[in-house]
């Protein structure tokens, strides 16, 4: 990315495809920030900050692997995670996530985009949170890309407990568009070859300005403030429909 940060407005969709079927879709606002330019990102707009309270903000300590935040930056922790998984992260590293709105946010999925020194996409880290306070990072090398505007496809076995209405015997298939004028992440979940869940996020890029921040918040109806409540609201619907409850496996607790 050229600018240290940008906004993306669009939609998030989630659909259950087995057993009790359920689908929902919300308007959302994402922020994309360069981890190597966080200082500059925090000075792009009066209403946006890095590591400080504001109308919109991104806080390093809320992302990345657990660490001593006083000694290890988010950039350093992501570089170490990439290195441990054989991914070259010597180039640009950007984070796509819901920004905090007036200090509040819940990020079910944040995505780190990693590039090598020559700017070629080298890996993607999917940062997944559940509503029980857990966090896990799926680090996936980029094996191939179908052209500059093509999609990157990746696969990971599910090893982190997310929903009480899905079992753990699942495989994730990711299809990702590298952030540019548009950004998209699609996730298809399968169990023994049978589709069980589909989720996607899609956004169109906006320059990070005070005017665009206010406009985007109006258009998305302050969505970042409502994510956690929305998850519980949809879970209640699924439960009432009769979905089977799967307790968290002891090994992941």
Which pLDDT tens digit goes with each residue over 196-231?
889 999 999 999 999 999 999 998 875 655 544 444
Residue whose entry in the numeric block shows the structure tokens 């944040």: 110
Average pLDDT value over all residues in the chain = 85
Task: Give whichever of 141-150, 164-173, 237-246 has the largest mean pLDDT.
Answer: 164-173
So what's the pLDDT on residue 243? 47
d(CA 173, CA 189): 6
pLDDT at 59 over 90: yes
Tell me if 158 sits within 8 A of 146, measured CB to CB: no
pLDDT confidence of residue 242: 47
pLDDT score for 172: 93
**Confidence band of 66 (pLDDT split at 50, 70, 90):** confident
Q: Residue 69: what pLDDT? A: 62
Of the candidates 146, 139, 148, 143, the one whose C-alpha atom is nearest the C-alpha of residue 172 is: 139
Mean pLDDT, rounded, for 129-142: 91
In the chain, the percentage of residues whose pLDDT exceeds 90 is 61
Name the residue with higher pLDDT: 56 or 165.
56
Question: Residue 169 half-sphere exposure, CB side, CA atoms within 13 Å?
Answer: 4
Among 7, 2, 1, CA closest to 206: 7
Q: Which of 229 and 12 is assigned the larger pLDDT?
A: 12
Residue 187 near residue 195 (C-beta atoms within 8 A): no
- Helix or strand holding residue 34 (H, E): strand 22-34
Residue 10 pLDDT greater than 70, yes or no: yes
How high is the pLDDT of residue 162?
82
Name the least confident of 49-63, 81-95, 162-176: 162-176
What tokens were used for 52?
């400080």
pLDDT for position 63: 96
The residues spanned by each domain of the chain are 5-252
Q: Name the token pair of 198.
A: 């589909």
Indicate the pLDDT class of residue 236, thresholds 50, 70 and 90.
very low
Write down the pLDDT at residue 224.
56
- Residue 144 pLDDT exceeds 60: yes
With beta carbons less than 8 A apart as the criterion, state whether 184 and 202 touch. Answer: yes
Which tokens go with 5? 């940060």
Q: E strands within 51-161?
A: 56-58, 93-97, 100-101, 109-115, 121-129, 135-141, 152-157
Cβ atoms of 58 and 50 within 8 Å: the answer is yes
């Amino acid at each position: 990315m050229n600018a240290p940060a940008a906004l993306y407005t669009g939609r998030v969709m989630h659909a259950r495809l087995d057993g009790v079927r359920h689908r929902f879709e919300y308007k959302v606002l994402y922020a994309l920030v360069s981890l190597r330019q966080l200082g500059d990102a925090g000075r792009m707009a009066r209403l946006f900050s890095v590591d400080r309270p504001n109308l919109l903000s991104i806080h390093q300590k809320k992302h990345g692997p657990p660490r001593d935040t006083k000694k290890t930056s988010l950039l350093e922790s992501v570089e170490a995670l990439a290195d441990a998984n054989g991914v070259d992260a010597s180039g640009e590293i950007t984070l796509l996530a819901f920004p905090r709105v007036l200090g509040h946010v819940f990020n079910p999925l944040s995505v780190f985009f990693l590039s090598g020194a020559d700017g070629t996409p080298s890996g993607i880290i999917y940062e997944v949170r559940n509503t029980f306070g857990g966090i896990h990072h799926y680090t996936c090398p980029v094996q191939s890309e179908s052209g500059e505007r093509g999609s990157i496809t990746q696969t990971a076995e599910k090893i982190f407990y997310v929903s009480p209405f899905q079992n753990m015997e699942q495989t994730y298939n990711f299809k990702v568009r590298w952030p540019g004028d548009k950004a998209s992440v699609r996730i298809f979940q399968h169990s023994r070859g049978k589709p069980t869940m589909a989720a996607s996020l899609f956004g169109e890029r906006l320059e990070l300005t005070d005017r665009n921040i206010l406009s985007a918040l109006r258009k998305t109806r302050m969505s970042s403030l409502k994510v956690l409540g929305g998850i519980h609201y949809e879970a209640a619907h699924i439960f009432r429909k009769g979905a089977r409850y799967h307790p968290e496996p002891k090994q992941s607790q």
